[in-house]
Amino acid sequence: MCGIVGAVAQRNITPILVEGLKRLEYRGYDSCGVALHVDGKLQRSRSTSRVADLETQIQQTALSGFTGIAHTRWATHGAPSSSNAHPHFSRDRIALVHNGIIENHEELRAELQAAGYVFESQTDTEVIAHLVDHLYTGDLFETVQQAVKRLTGAYAIAVFCRDEPHRVVGARQGSPLIVGVGQGENFLASDAMALAGTTDQIIYLEEGDVVDLQLQRCWIVDVNGKAVQREVRTVHAHTGAAELGPYRHYMQKEIFEQPRAIGDTLEGVTGIMPELFGDKAFNIFKQIDSVLILACGTSYYAGLTAKYWIESIAKVTVNVEIASEYRYRDSVPNPNSLVVTISQSGETADTLAALKHARAQGMQHTLTICNVATSAMVRECELSYITRAGVEVGVASTKAFTTQLAALFLLALALAQTKGRLSDEQEAEHIKALRHLPVAISAVLALEPQIIAWAEEFARKENALFLGRGLHYPIALEGALKLKEISYIHAEAYPAGELKHGPLALVTKEMPVVTVAPKDALIEKLKSNMQEVRARGGELYVFADADSRIAPSEGVHVIRLPEHYGQLSPILHVVPLQLLAYHTALARGTDVDKPRNLAKSVTVE
């Protein structure tokens, strides 16, 4: 989703801006642009194509300058068109880029139109550009501080003015913005990764901050206009993600990285102890009597899986809520609940807002399972566990999901231990199983050729059903999500016991039914559900395991995972579903890493 880069320097900054946009591309966007201060004027270049196209335009027009801003846009207000692409100008004096959503844009638009401003776009962003121009006092920093007081909603902005050539001003509220501190030059970005290779000295701006960037000055005021010092951190933003190696897509690379990602996430875990989640974890785990999990998308399905683990292993009640629902729902707060957010990016707007909502309701104990150590989510939570999946580029989450599961399993064990419900033998067994996961996943990845054969059949279908029971119901949900988001095949998941309450009506020989069928306590029940499908002519595609005792027969295709893996089986069983989605999408020729209409980091609600 939208990305920002800005710079004020004594050298041509176009390569820095373009490189920054390229590093933010993976988040998903549909147009991009750059604006520079050139010989006392504002100049810009915008594209509804890729950043590479923008780069060609910049080269062809020899656009260069020392002060400027750049943006990748993921359309919310107004279609992805050149005139809606950022940067937006006001009266050829103000240039501005924005991430987020301005909720009072209609009211401001009417006011600014009455003051004579002519709008060129349908965006909510253009109102901010005109507002800044309207309030301009000759001092951009001061003006932006006044302007943001009029905004309702979420924003991170970067703005510069024709009349102040060596200055870029930034502000944030509800959307992330960071400062990159250089020597005689300063930068702004929505993510430290955008500045990798330019500077590793990063300041994370806080809610309500406004920053004045000049060549030798980086001055920050807080929400009350008071000057504040924010810590400068050395951040080694990952740059390695750009290498595809032998893979065709990042998604494929990331699926195959899972043994390494899980190994790294569990590195150093030789025993279970609450302190894995932070120094205060023991006392907090002792006090809490329930867990409330908040997340979106794939992370939400990790949360659903964790509910089964935590309730069965630690005997602690768990509620799992979709963050965008929870944040607006009248719920009954329990101050003794541990609020757990799960997020790959640590930036998802709804999850952050749900966390704040939970705190505002009096729930002070917060923990996050997150893949980005420097993210807002980690900074806002009391406790954390950092998964070490590494940068995930593919929009469809894979290695982030399995590493989240590994961390959540540890959480179930740590809670059980604190509550006196984990014996030393059980601990030792679980640790052994966790440590063996990388090898077990590698064996599942070796099933790829069989899955490719299935994918060729799936590529010709328009619908698919996924079934699972118990611990594997969330895995069926995740499998259906993977298939729909990248292959555009309509896919739904059901707990298999629900089949006869509706979805069975959809089953014909045209409906492939994927069944997640490891040998667990519910396998015999699941087999009955499979019979119900067969009796209606449905084709079954079964992911069994070494112990499931399901034989292939007419209309029943079986791929057997090499090991039965007990409670950790969801971590193995999701892998063939990821591969099935990937190869089906490949066969259908879709843009696997950047599926239509979707973004990697959803920083607006």
Residues of the shown chain interacting with ligand G6P in the complex, contacts defined by CB under 6 A: 296-299, 343-345, 348, 351, 395, 397, 598, 600-602
The length of the chain is 605
Q: Is 381 a catalytic residue?
A: no
Minimum CB separation from ligand G6P for residue 344, in Å?
4
3-state class (DSSP) for residue 184? coil
Q: How far is CA 430 from CA 263, 298, 312, 444, 538, in A?
A: 15, 24, 14, 20, 38
Residues 6 or more apart whose CB falls under 8 angstroms from that of 116 comprise none
- Look up tokens 């992911």; give the residue: 543
Minimum CB separation from ligand G6P for residue 414, in Å?
21
Rounded Cα distance between 12 and 164, Å, is 17
Minimum CB separation from ligand G6P for residue 415, in Å?
22
Minimum CB separation from ligand G6P for residue 11, in Å?
35
Q: Identify which of residues 127 and 295 has a Cβ nearer to ligand G6P in the complex.
A: 295
Query: How are beta strands 556-561 and 539-545 bridged, if at all?
Result: parallel
Q: Identify which of residues 84 and 601 has a Cβ nearer to ligand G6P in the complex.
A: 601
Q: List the catalytic residue out of 253, 307, 594, 600.
A: 600
Q: Is 2 a catalytic residue?
A: yes
Minimum CB separation from ligand G6P for residue 282, in Å?
27
Tokens of 47: 């594209």
Minimum CB separation from ligand G6P for residue 396, in Å?
6
Minimum CB separation from ligand G6P for residue 405, in Å?
13
Q: Identify which of residues 349 and 556 has a Cβ nearer to ligand G6P in the complex.
A: 349
Please write down the HEC assignment for all residues of 192-257. HHHHCCCCCEEEECCCCCEEEECCCCEEEECCCCCEECCCCEECCCCCHHHCCCCCCCHHHHHHHC
Q: Identify which of residues 43 and 343 has a Cβ nearer to ligand G6P in the complex.
A: 343
Closest listed residue to residue 217, CA positions, set 173, 168, 178: 168
Tokens of 79: 């279609």
Q: How far is CA 6 from CA 65, 80, 97, in A?
A: 12, 22, 9
Rounded Cα distance between 130 and 152, Å, is 16
Q: Identify which of residues 43 and 397 has a Cβ nearer to ligand G6P in the complex.
A: 397
Minimum CB separation from ligand G6P for residue 183, in Å?
33
Q: Identify which of residues 379 and 436 has a Cβ nearer to ligand G6P in the complex.
A: 379
Residue 152 · residue 203 · CB < 8 Å: no
Rounded Cα distance between 95 and 92, Å, is 8
Rounded Cα distance between 240 and 351, Å, is 27
Half-sphere CA count of 145, side-chain side, radius 13 A: 18
For the packed helices 399-418 and 569-588, what is the interaxial angle rounded to 10 degrees?
Answer: 170
Minimum CB separation from ligand G6P for residue 288, in Å?
23
Neighbours of 60 (CB within 10 A): 9
Number of residue whose CB is nearest ligand G6P? 297
Residues 6 or more apart whose CB falls under 8 angstroms from that of 544 comprise 517, 518, 519, 550, 558, 559, 560, 561
Half-sphere CA count of 382, side-chain side, radius 13 A: 17
Minimum CB separation from ligand G6P for residue 25, in Å?
14
Q: Identify which of residues 422 and 604 has a Cβ nearer to ligand G6P in the complex.
A: 604
Q: Identify which of residues 19 and 25 has a Cβ nearer to ligand G6P in the complex.
A: 25
Rounded Cα distance between 105 and 87, Å, is 17
Rounded Cα distance between 311 and 2, Å, is 38
Rounded Cα distance between 555 and 347, Å, is 44
Question: Is 551 exposed, middle or buried (CB count within 10 Å of its CB: 0-12, 13-18, 19+)?
Answer: exposed
Q: Identify which of residues 90 and 99 has a Cβ nearer to ligand G6P in the complex.
A: 99
Q: List the catalytic residue out of 2, 161, 296, 381.
A: 2
Q: How far is CA 320 from CA 29, 49, 274, 287, in A?
A: 30, 39, 21, 20
Q: Identify which of residues 218 and 602 has a Cβ nearer to ligand G6P in the complex.
A: 602
Q: Which residues have a catalytic role annotated?
A: 2, 600
